[in-house]
Amino acid sequence: MITRRGALAGAGLLLGTGEVRAQAYPNRAVRVIVPYAPGGADTYIRPLMGPISRALGQSVVVDTVVGGGGAVGANRVRTSPPDGYTLLFAGTGALTAAPRLQNLGYTAADFAPIANLVSIPFVLAARRGASFNDFTGFLAAARAKPEGLSYGSTGVGGTPHLIMEQLSKVAGIKMLHVPYSGVATASVALLAGDIDLVMGAPSFIMPLLDRGVVPLVQTGARRMTAISAVPTFRESGVDLEMVTRFGFVAPNGTDTAILDRWSSLILEGGADPGYVQAMQRNYNEVELLDRARFAAFLTEEDAATERMLRELNLRG
């Protein structure tokens, strides 16, 4: 007589234990941690969560966990069981720069890449009433203020922070870094006049133009179509470029079949024309990278970040 246990064991021999686990997955809600303040990077994935939940047959809960330029949420995912029930959606700086600057003892190699979804440049913008209204004027004002103009960012080790550190070195200026829990809170401080500038995603900066905020420069290699009036660093005479990619990762050791399933769902959802148009309307660009390509990119960025931090003499 074949018992239920025997049948399951036989299935394990035929399919492999990983495939058996993946077939049973998920049997409860999945949590996606976004390690920034609400209203930021979480807006990139919320349109996809309904379709993915229906495809999985279980709820997918987006949970914002703020702190450390993304490091707090990233570390929480890293230390979660590698069972596919806790995933991370973050900018790659949370995996490469933040842990080094904060001596957290983890690296990008501690995560299993799933897929990249969005890629964006950042925009440096000045507060209303600033004494300058273009990048040349900003540089002159910064050089005239030895104690440094103040700027807000999403936290120590985030891409905006690193861009400004690079700019300070390349342009020979000093800046006063004021880290916030997210670009939304930094933008509030900018509007209140508490800081001189903010470096943030276009989706936050561009809607503030009606309130007197002035975009000075964007950080990509070329002008982003949705913000084509804003020049790049190179066009402004500074040899600097940087974008950040936002993607999904899981704790290392997560079953490959689960990673593949999530990757397929993300790539399918990200390619939907309605989603692409919605992202473009909000000044974001969809850049889909599958598991292999995203893994290769993370490896390259991790090595490049280590070199950059060494050159900038930034350590935790």
Q: Angle at which helices 256-270 and 17-24 pack, to 10 degrees? A: 50
Average confidence (pLDDT) over 26-54: 94
Quote the CA–CA distance of 16 and 25 in Å, as a whole number: 15
Contact (Cβ atoms closer than 8 angstroms) between residue 198 and residue 187:
yes
Residue among 108, 195, 103, 191 nearest 153 (CA): 195
Residue 21: pLDDT band (50, 70, 90) is: low
User: Which residues face 91 on adjacent strands?
Assistant: 246
187-193: Cβ within 8 A, 24+ apart: 187/152, 189/152, 190/125, 190/127, 190/152, 191/127, 191/128, 193/127, 193/128, 193/129
pLDDT tens by residue, 106-148: 999 999 999 999 998 999 999 999 999 999 999 999 999 988 8
Nearest 5°: CA angle at 302, between 68 and 91? 45
Quote the CA–CA distance of 127 and 140 in Å, as a whole number: 16
The yes-or-no verdict on residue 20 having pLDDT over 60 is: no
CA distances from 168 to 139, 172, 230 (A): 10, 6, 20
Quote the CA–CA distance of 86 and 76 in Å, as a whole number: 9
3-state DSSP call for residue 289?
Answer: strand
Residue among 293, 300, 242 nearest 267 (CA): 293
The yes-or-no verdict on residue 210 having pLDDT over 60 is: yes
Q: Write down the pTM of the prediction.
A: 0.84
Residue 316: pLDDT band (50, 70, 90) is: low
Residue 182: pLDDT band (50, 70, 90) is: confident
Lowest mean pLDDT among 18-32, 53-67, 115-129, 270-284: 18-32
Residue 11: pLDDT band (50, 70, 90) is: very low
Kindly list the structural domains of the chain, giving each domain's residue range(s) and its CATH number in brackets, ordered by start. 4-120+244-311 (3.40.190.150), 123-236 (3.40.190.10)
The yes-or-no verdict on residue 12 having pLDDT over 80 is: no
**How would you classify the pairing of strands 111-121 and 243-251?**
antiparallel
The yes-or-no verdict on residue 15 having pLDDT over 90 is: no
For residue 89, how far is the Cα from the chain centroid?
7
pLDDT tens by residue, 59-92: 999 999 988 888 999 999 999 999 999 999 999 9
What rounded mean pLDDT belongs to the chain?
90
Q: Where are the alpha helices (DSSP H) in the chain?
A: 4-15, 17-24, 42-56, 71-78, 93-96, 98-101, 135-143, 159-171, 183-192, 202-205, 256-270, 273-281, 291-311
Contact (Cβ atoms closer than 8 angstroms) between residue 266 and residue 48:
yes
Quote the CA–CA distance of 30 and 114 in Å, as a whole number: 15
Q: Which residues does 254 contact at the CB level (< 8 Å), separation at least 6? A: 82, 83, 84, 112
Residue 181: pLDDT band (50, 70, 90) is: confident
CA distances from 92 to 46, 107, 196, 247, 295 (A): 19, 11, 27, 7, 11
Q: Could you give the percent of the chain with pLDDT greater than 70?
A: 92
pLDDT tens by residue, 232-269: 999 999 999 998 899 999 999 999 999 999 999 999 99
Task: Give 232 or 10, the one with higher predicted confidence.
Answer: 232
Residue 89: per-residue pLDDT: 98
Average confidence (pLDDT) over 199-215: 94
3-state DSSP call for residue 242?
Answer: coil
